[in-house]
Structure 1
């Protein structure tokens, strides 16, 4: 299996692309979106919402290459874009679907990202910080219960802090189909730093919430929601709703700017 690590790759040469070259790129995109090469646009093409709004509006969901600014550097990165859910324009930052990827990983892996962008993956704390630090972003979590019914969580505020702060979570403005908000009920996670088995930042003095193949996550104590918990079909679940824990068959975490409105 080919894995896609979210690493900021070689520096993209800055310059003005001639209009004829732009037309060639756009035409190629329209004819064969699955074979998409570098987008032809401004350096701010750094998320799936901007890309859909400004390049073409009938793009299928999938992995795209685009320009991304981070720490003053312009790089080419791969992103999985969900172009259909709730008008599209979503950058997917995590997916679980079959247990094929190991989420019991150290801090360094969670920081840089791991997995297959077409399969199971974690996009990386560094990349999440890079995307969300510049403005107001929203989070949507789509998921499927073991009985194959689906639901979602939605938040109007989502931001991941920087490395020096150990990537604290800012989240709020809950809406969605679930009766309770697992990020704020029982164990409120707003402001919590990220925790892995080799870096314990949770508030439970008796245990590291990431020990025992539980995966890295933001924890106050263990836990009301942990979407990186080991994948399984029975036993203690990792999503707490209405006084019950649930396991999930499929999860996608996705983000886009709050003012995103691709049509």
Structure 2
């Protein structure tokens, strides 16, 4: 790298802080999250960029909006990263990115593996998200809406059984509407995998989200409030697929029927999305 191309280098605690320094005479910027260092450059260059360990480069208006962006920018390790679905000047969202499965670039929107986080939550909790991406998490319906609003995302679901076997189902089309639309679920395109298409077999596509304090299903009672369910989901009347049920095995029925009938069989679940 020539000195003429480098405008400045300084400490920066976040990518957004680094990006804010890329103003006049700045063609693009580099950020190293390990060193917490920022570089601003007058013009783009290619020589040596891929050889610098830990440095990633961005144009001012193109921060990583999701895990696919991170993968495309050269990140090759499944881990927790900051993404900017609302733009570079917004607060980053911490997510777990899977870079290994089916070409990588998957953003985890749900993850469970030990029941340490209760999914018996109200509408506001599901709206804003809860848990931690490195542990158990629901990323938040507002973020899911933002990530899928272009209707160009796939959904990848996994259930790991107590015997260690991991089953999956991938939907080619997945999106969720905004809060005004009650986070309505849309599934399109073919589904494939080893779990079976349990979300569409019970007509969950088109259903609004329900929580124990917000009944949007088609049953004669609140499916999300039922003692054998107690969690937010897209219910019809009520479900053949429900990954947010009570972790207590005796109370979690039909996580993914008919393939997985009881919570006693479940060791862990994930839901991940990726732009097509």
SS at match of 1:104: coil
Quick one: distance in 2 between partners of 1:219 and 1:18?
Answer: 50
How do 1:137-156 and structure 2 match up within 5 A? 137-156=153-172
User: Which stretch of structure 1 is more off in the superposition, 40-49 or 136-145?
Assistant: 40-49
How do 1:79-228 and structure 2 match up within 5 A? 79-178=95-194, 180-185=196-201, 187-205=202-220, 207-211=221-225, 212=227, 214-228=230-244
1:68 to 63, 68, 85: 85
- Quick check: 2:151–2:174 contact (8 Å CA) kept in 1? no
- What root-mean-square deviation, in Å, do the aligned CA atoms of Structure 1 and Structure 2 show? 3.0
Quick one: distance in 2 between partners of 1:241 and 1:92?
Answer: 22
**Count of equivalent residues:** 239
Quick one: distance in 1 between partners of 2:83 and 2:189?
Answer: 29
Quick one: distance in 1 between partners of 2:57 and 2:91?
Answer: 12
- Quick check: 2:68–2:105 contact (8 Å CA) kept in 1? yes
- Quick check: 1:178–1:241 contact (8 Å CA) kept in 2? no
TM-score by length of 2: 0.76
* Cross-structure match for 1:52: 71
Change (3 A) 1:148 1:244: closer
Shift of 1:244: 6.3
- Quick check: 1:43–1:69 contact (8 Å CA) kept in 2? no
* Cross-structure match for 1:251: 269
Q: Point out where structure 1 has 5 or more consecutive residues left out of the alignment.
A: 1-8, 259-263
Change (3 A) 1:174 1:145: farther
Change (3 A) 1:39 1:222: farther
Quick one: distance in 1 between partners of 2:143 and 2:57?
Answer: 19
Change (3 A) 1:147 1:235: farther
Shift of 1:44: 4.8
Quick one: distance in 1 between partners of 2:258 and 2:218?
Answer: 23
Change (3 A) 1:184 1:14: farther
TM-score by length of 1: 0.80
Quick one: distance in 1 between partners of 2:148 and 2:114?
Answer: 28
Change (3 A) 1:244 1:110: closer
Q: Point out where structure 2 has 5 or more consecutive residues left out of the alignment.
A: 1-15, 37-51
- Give per-residue Cα distances to partners, 1:117-153, cap 9 Å, x unaligned: 1000100000000110024100000111222211101
Higher relative contact order (CA 8 A, sep 6+): 1
Shift of 1:14: 8.0
